[in-house]
Amino acid sequence: MKYCGIDAASKRSQFCVIDGEDERIWEGPVEMSEASIKKALKWLKKEKLSCVVETGSSSEWLCKVMESLGHKIVIIDARKAKAAVNSRGKKTDRTDARSLAHICRTGFYTAVHRKSDKSRELRSKMTARSVVQK
């Protein structure tokens, strides 16, 4: 089994893939487009990853892309993961992705509830309505 930590950002995210022995297999920045992610993970062939990404604005979109490629991905609570991520030295996108991959391998994380597309759409409409009313 291979494990992946993704430090997600709006334009370019940092990926880190490790094996069961916590050895880095691959890491690097990937543009945030479905085509770029697919191309970056092409080397896996049919092997599937178990991934984690912290809560954020692009997390749900990233989950949909990774799941469409057959990978398992979990969104984890960023506040609870912060202690583990910050304890591994200097904070960079690369070290964050490495820490997230390690968290994925150990299973030491708190997953957040993923809302349905319908629920997120309704929330967006309610927010827009509230703004218009104000």
Q: What is the pLDDT of residue 87?
A: 58
Backbone Cα Rg of the chain: 16
The four Cα atoms 51, 54, 60, 65 give a dihedral, to 10 degrees, of -30
pLDDT in tens, 70-113: 999 999 988 877 766 655 567 889 999 999 999 999 998 989 98
Distance CA 129, CA 106 (A): 43
Q: What is the pLDDT confidence band of residue 6, given thresholds at 50, 70 and 90?
A: very high
Give the pLDDT mean for 43-61: 93
Is 44's pLDDT higher than 60?
Answer: yes
> With contact defined as beta carbons under 8 Å apart, do 75 and 111 qualify?
yes
- Work out the mean pLDDT of the chain and round it to a whole number: 91
Tokens of 46: 């049919």
Full-model pTM: 0.86
Q: What is the pLDDT of residue 89?
A: 65
